[in-house]
């Protein structure tokens, strides 16, 4: 299948918004469109056009139109809670019986050779309604251990019907293999593709540190601001620019003002694309508690900018080679974060050396080889259908046998208690 032209459909939450999953899906779709017919199905639509550029060869199909005045907003099913989309999924409140119905109608009639879901709840739609003749692949842009126990129970039941689960890091793939029993389902890691921004490499002379991401607690911009307070005291001509939007904006601004850093730390709002902003910096930093991949790190490296990141689960250690193209520091360690920033600020030759190494290393995330990895996966899955179906059947039989043994053990236990009671 990988060598011939096929029809590929991506299922995404909302291609009209802003986010890492949207960017990576569009990057991969464009790379696959060199050889295949590609469609992106967006569960929701809230604006006329996507915020990110879409390759003209890629078709966009929205399922539920939430724009004011659309016919869908008057559909009574829109006000009824979803029954198929898992309630434990973080986006559950944005789904409805209308979303359930549209997803089912689309998937049951879909003639794609390959269908790829891009978030847990959407992957459940794929498992429930995807045509059995298509290869059904679940991408995990989050991580196994960030899902609740309830959601993982739902995913374990539904993912068994799929052909593959693809994570963004080897570490997360290993967790899925160890913790989620999926006989006949290929579990593997394929990194996100990040295209060359087409910019000259940063000259690394600007006295600017940049960071980007959603302004939420898990990204630990509060810790970054604390760390930069000491940096600013020792290097008053350096500044920190934070790009993004989110619920923590007001609290972060209060921290900046309270520390007297208003002249050196600025909340810049969102920028798309972000690479031109990174190219104007000399260091890019991430203080996150957890990352499923680390898109901003790769985007910075593609601009020839060295990165400082917490060594958080699961992505940064698979992107950054400590001391070669960036620096890794322990999660939550303000002093280590401060020291790493000061190291790159004060050692210009090291900064330039790491920036050059970062630009070279980031080429491994080109969308073209990532797309070829998917082509190889399609061919492998198509060729192993029969053997994987046998593995799935064997696994199901073992599961039923284990269930029977469990019930027998329960009966024996009750019978033993009855006999012991009768002998008293």
Looking at domain 208-357, its CATH superfamily turns out to be Glycogen Phosphorylase B; (3.40.50.2000)
pLDDT value at 259 more than 70: yes
Selection from 374, 372, 368 nearest residue 113 by Cα: 374
State the pLDDT confidence band at 389, using cuts at 50, 70 and 90. Answer: confident
Can you give the pLDDT at residue 61? 98
pLDDT value at 108 more than 60: yes
Q: How far is CA 353 from CA 197, 316, 347, in A?
A: 20, 19, 10
In DSSP notation, 196-238 reads: ----PPP-S-S-EEEEES--SGGG-HHHHHHHHHHHHHH-TT-
309 forms beta bridges with: 286, 328
Can you give the pLDDT at residue 301? 98
255: phi > 0 → left, psi -120 to 50 → alpha, else beta; which?
alpha
Q: Which helix (H) or strand (E) holds 164?
A: strand 164-167
Q: What would the mean pLDDT of 138-156 be, rounded to a whole number?
A: 96
pLDDT value at 236 more than 60: yes
3 state SS of 80: coil
The CATH classification number of 7-194+372-386 equals 3.40.50.2000
Lowest-confidence range among 243-252, 330-339, 366-375, 410-419?
410-419
63-95 pLDDT, tens digit per residue, is 999 999 999 999 999 999 999 999 999 999 999
State the pLDDT confidence band at 336, using cuts at 50, 70 and 90. Answer: very high
Q: What is the mean pLDDT of the chain?
A: 93
pLDDT value at 403 more than 80: no
Cα 14-221-242 angle, rounded to 5 deg: 75
283-319 pLDDT, tens digit per residue, is 999 999 988 888 999 999 999 999 999 999 888 999 9
**Which segments within 13-58 are labelled E, that is strand?**
37-45
180-198 pLDDT, tens digit per residue, is 999 999 999 999 999 999 9
State the pLDDT confidence band at 157, using cuts at 50, 70 and 90. Answer: very high
Can you give the pLDDT at residue 422? 61
**What are the strands of the beta sheet with 239-243, ordered from one edge?**
265-269, 239-243, 208-212, 283-286, 307-310, 326-329
CA distance 18 to 53: 11
Contact 285, 308 (CB under 8 A): yes
Can you give the pLDDT at residue 272? 82
Can you give the pLDDT at residue 391? 80
* CATH 3.40.50.2000 in the chain, residue ranges: 7-194+372-386, 208-357
Q: How far is CA 285 from CA 336, 337, 355, in A?
A: 13, 9, 13
């Amino acid at each position: 299948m990988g060598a011939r032209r096929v029809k590929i459909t991506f299922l995404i939450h909302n291609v009209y918004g802003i986010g890492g999953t949207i960017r990576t899906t569009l990057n991969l779709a464009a790379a696959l469109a060199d050889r295949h017919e590609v469609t992106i199905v967006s569960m929701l639509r809230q604006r006329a056009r996507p915020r990110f550029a879409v390759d003209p060869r890629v078709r966009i199909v929205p399922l539920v139109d939430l724009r004011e005045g659309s016919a869908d907003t008057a559909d009574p099913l829109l006000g009824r809670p979803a029954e198929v989309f898992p309630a434990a999924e973080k986006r559950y409140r944005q789904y409805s019986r209308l979303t359930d119905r549209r997803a089912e109608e689309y998937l049951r009639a879909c003639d794609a050779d390959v269908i790829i879901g891009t978030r847990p709840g959407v992957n459940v739609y794929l498992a429930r309604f995807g045509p059995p003749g298509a290869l059904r692949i679940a991408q995990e842009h989050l991580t196994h251990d960030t899902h609740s126990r309830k959601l993982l129970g739902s995913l374990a039941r539904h993912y068994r019907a799929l052909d593959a689960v693809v994570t963004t890091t080897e570490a997360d793939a290993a967790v899925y293999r160890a913790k989620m029993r999926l006989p006949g389902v290929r579990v593997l890691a394929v990194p996100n593709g990040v295209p060359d921004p087409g910019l000259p490499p940063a000259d690394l002379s600007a006295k600017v540190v940049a960071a980007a991401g959603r302004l939420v607690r898990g990204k630990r911009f509060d810790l970054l601001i604390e760390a930069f307070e000491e940096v600013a005291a020792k290097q008053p001509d350096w500044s920190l620019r934070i790009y993004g939007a989110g619920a923590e904006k007001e609290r972060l601004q209060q921290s900046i003002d309270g520390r007297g850093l208003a002249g050196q730390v600025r909340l810049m709002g969102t920028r798309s694309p972000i690479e031109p902003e990174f190219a104007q910096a000399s260091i890019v930093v991430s203080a996150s508690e957890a990352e499923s991949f680390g898109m901003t790190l790769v985007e910075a490296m593609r601009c020839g900018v060295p990165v400082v990141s917490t060594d958080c689960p699961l992505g940064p250690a698979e992107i950054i080679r400590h001391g070669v193209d960036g620096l890794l520091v322990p999660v939550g360690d303000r002093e280590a974060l401060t020291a790493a920033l000061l190291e790159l600020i004060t050692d210009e030759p090291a900064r330039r050396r790491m920036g050059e190494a970062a630009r070279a290393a980031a080429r491994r995330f080109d969308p073209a080889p990532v797309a070829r990895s998917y082509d190889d996966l399609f061919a492998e899955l198509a060729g192993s259908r029969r053997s994987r179906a046998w593995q799935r059947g064997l696994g199901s039989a073992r599961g039923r046998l284990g269930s029977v043994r469990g019930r027998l053990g329960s009966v024996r236990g009750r019978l033993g208690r009855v006999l012991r009671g009768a002998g008293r």
